[in-house]
Chain A
Amino acid sequence: DSGVTQTPKHLITATGQRVTLRCSPRSGDLSVYWYQQSLDQGLQFLIQYYNGEERAKGNILERFSAQQFPDLHSELNLSSLELGDSALYFCASSASGASYNEQFFGPGTRLTVL
């Protein structure tokens, strides 16, 4: 158990809909990262937040957004969902925002868009 929690574990929705994925980092960790894992693209970095502020952006679509709240939990919002958005979404956390910090992953949310 990495100490990172994610909810829900599974999510099934329809195209065009909007969903919110939630992540709670390990106790004391200030940075949260979001990743998408699909069969054809592998693990792709989406976005990082550090202590409430956006720190780095990766291959995140404009239809996706995230935020980190004062209690350090984070939410990833996916809107206007398409079939291709079906994937595993992982959250990871690290102690600080430094580029050399180890990241610990949550169990993931499996999103299925029908």
Chain B
Amino acid sequence: GQQLNQSPQSMFIQEGEDVSMNCTSSSIFNTWLWYKQDPGEGPVLLIALYKAGELTSNGRLTAQFGITRKDSFLNISASIPSDVGIYFCAGQADYKLSFGAGTTVTVRA
């Protein structure tokens, strides 16, 4: 499948801080999706992006679909303890979803 490069791999953040993570790919995608996965659970959809340049918010989350269709970023503002988890980007093309390796977020109280 297509290779997605997600960074950073992990981050420790202070409660109240803003967080940013991104994904890049050598391939073009029709859709970018951001998921959060808690231990032992399935990924939960946070934000879906459908058009190049699209900027979408969901509460404290904001994500953008890159103009080139090969990248996307996710911002979390004013982080709280329940933001802990693994965040995955996913690019969709040809009915297939390709996932990044994930960003593990740990919040320091």
Instruction: Enumerate chain A interface residues (CB-CB to B < 8 A).
Output: 2, 4, 33, 35, 42-45, 48, 55-56, 58-59, 90, 92, 97, 99-100, 102-108, 110
Which residues of chain B (1-16) have a CB below 8 Å from chain A? 1
Q: What's the Cα separation between A104 and B97 when bound, in Å?
A: 12
Is there contact, CB below 8 Å, between A55 and B95? yes
Is there contact, CB below 8 Å, between A107 and B33? no
Is there contact, CB below 8 Å, between A42 and B99? yes
* Chain A proximity of B52: nearest CB distance (Å): 13
Is there contact, CB below 8 Å, between B42 and A106? yes
Q: How many residues of B contact A (CB 8 A)?
A: 26
* Chain A proximity of B98: nearest CB distance (Å): 7
Is there contact, CB below 8 Å, between A103 and B99? no
Given contacts A103-B45, A107-B41, 9 further A-B contacts (CB under 8 A): A4-B42, A44-B1, A45-B1, A45-B97, A58-B96, A99-B30, A99-B95, A104-B45, A110-B40
Q: What's the Cα separation between A2 and B31 when bound, in Å?
A: 20
B93: Cβ under 8 A from any A Cβ: yes
- List of B residues within 8 angstroms of A33 by Cβ: 97
B92: Cβ under 8 A from any A Cβ: yes
Is there contact, CB below 8 Å, between B94 and A56? yes
Q: Which of B41, B45, B94 contacts A108 (CB 8 A)?
A: B41
Q: List 25 A-B contacts (CB under 8 A).
A: A2-B42, A2-B44, A33-B97, A42-B101, A42-B102, A43-B99, A45-B97, A45-B98, A48-B95, A55-B95, A56-B95, A58-B1, A58-B96, A92-B42, A92-B97, A99-B94, A99-B96, A102-B48, A103-B97, A105-B42, A105-B43, A105-B44, A106-B42, A107-B42, A108-B41
